[in-house]
Amino acid sequence: MQLSEKIAALRIRNGLSQEELAAALGVSRQTIGKWETGQSAPGLSGLIALSRCFSISIDALAKDDACFSPVDCPVEPSALLAFLLRAKRATYAGFGPEAEPSRKHAHDYVYGETPFLYRDSYVGGHEFFGEEIVWQNDQPVWAMNYCGRTCSDHFSGDFLKEALRNSTPAMPFRGPASYHRGDYLYYCKVTGTLDWFDGEEAIYFGSELVYEGRFHGGNTR
């Protein structure tokens, strides 16, 4: 595979448009287009920037290699993070429609943006257990298991979803570190980063604990 083909394959694998890759590297979209069609080639500074962006050595990037496979290269964390936040806000937290269940008595939500696909599937009600998975080009790249339970009739599912919609790039796992509205307070504590983490969340109504949850996950590569 030639350099031009590798750049295009790695960009698509990491869920980036030509505009997004250009912004990350500090070049124009037209420059990316020329690199991918072989009309021009990146110089040393461009190769270094591509190497850092895709976490791949300059030698592996620049050397023609018929056996090169972008599937074996790491996913760009920023692309995965951005997609994950959009997927979560478009599904359960955003009152998105349920998909065909993947197992008996399950509630499933699915969201996709080429080359990513996200599925959230859980079972239960007042006490529940679930799993979120992200695939890229049909390869699983990230997953999270979670469980939770309600502890009081004061629990509000709408408030939980509202808190989850306010997740941030720094806290993309469930909800933000803290969020409140009226008498409700949500908090979330996490150890680790997106590639390997565990955490807990809770909702209080005044001083009363009305919901608690646990979660853990990371990259699957």
Q: Does 147 share its domain with 39?
A: no
Q: Does 89 share its domain with 69?
A: no
* Secondary structure in 3-state letters for 13-41: HCCCCHHHHHHHHCCCHHHHHHHHHCCCC
Query: What pLDDT is attached to residue 61?
Result: 85
Q: Classify residue 178 by its DSSP letter.
A: E
Q: Does 68 share its domain with 82?
A: no
Q: Does 67 share its domain with 143?
A: no
Query: What pLDDT is attached to residue 72?
Result: 56
Query: What pLDDT is attached to residue 75?
Result: 64
Token pair recorded at residue 34: 């020329």
CA distances from 5 to 60, 61, 169 (A): 13, 10, 31
pLDDT tens for the chain, residues 1 to 221? 789 988 988 887 777 888 989 998 999 999 999 999 999 999 999 999 998 888 788 888 888 775 666 655 656 678 889 999 999 999 999 999 999 999 999 999 999 988 899 999 999 999 999 999 999 878 899 999 999 999 999 999 999 999 999 999 999 999 999 999 999 999 999 999 999 999 999 999 999 999 999 999 999 87
Domain ranges, residue 9 = 3-74
Query: What pLDDT is attached to residue 68?
Result: 65
Task: Return d(Cα 119, Cα 97) in angstroms, integer.
Answer: 12
Q: Does 106 share its domain with 176?
A: yes
Q: Does 38 share its domain with 109?
A: no
Q: Does 192 share its domain with 110?
A: yes
Q: Does 127 share its domain with 167?
A: yes
Provide the number of structural domains found in the chain: 2
| Owner of token pair 């806290």 | 171
Q: Does 205 share its domain with 157?
A: yes
The Cα diameter of the chain in Å comes to 65
Q: Does 63 share its domain with 88?
A: no
Query: What pLDDT is attached to residue 210?
Result: 98
Task: Return d(Cα 164, Cα 121) in angstroms, integer.
Answer: 16
Of 51, 74, 97, which marks where a domain is finished? 74
Of 47, 74, 101, which marks where a domain is finished? 74
Q: Does 50 share its domain with 157?
A: no
Question: In sequence order, what are the beta bridge partners of 110?
Answer: 119
143 with 133: CB under 8 angstroms? Answer: yes
CATH number at residue 56: 1.10.260.40
Is pTM beyond 0.85? Reply is no
Query: What pLDDT is attached to residue 10?
Result: 85
Q: Does 139 share its domain with 98?
A: yes
Distance of CA 160 to the CA centre of its chain: 20
Q: Helix %, strand %, coil % for the chain, to 5?
A: 30, 35, 35
- In which order are the strands placed within the sheet that holds 184-193? 106-113, 116-124, 127-136, 139-150, 208-219, 196-205, 184-193, 178-181
Long-range residue pairs from 164-170, CB within 8 A, at least 24 positions apart, any chain = 164/88, 164/92, 164/93, 165/88, 165/89, 165/93, 165/94, 167/85, 167/88, 167/89, 167/93, 169/81, 169/82, 169/85
Query: What pLDDT is attached to residue 199?
Result: 98
Of 49, 74, 99, which marks where a domain is finished? 74
Task: Return d(Cα 78, Cα 116) in angstroms, integer.
Answer: 13
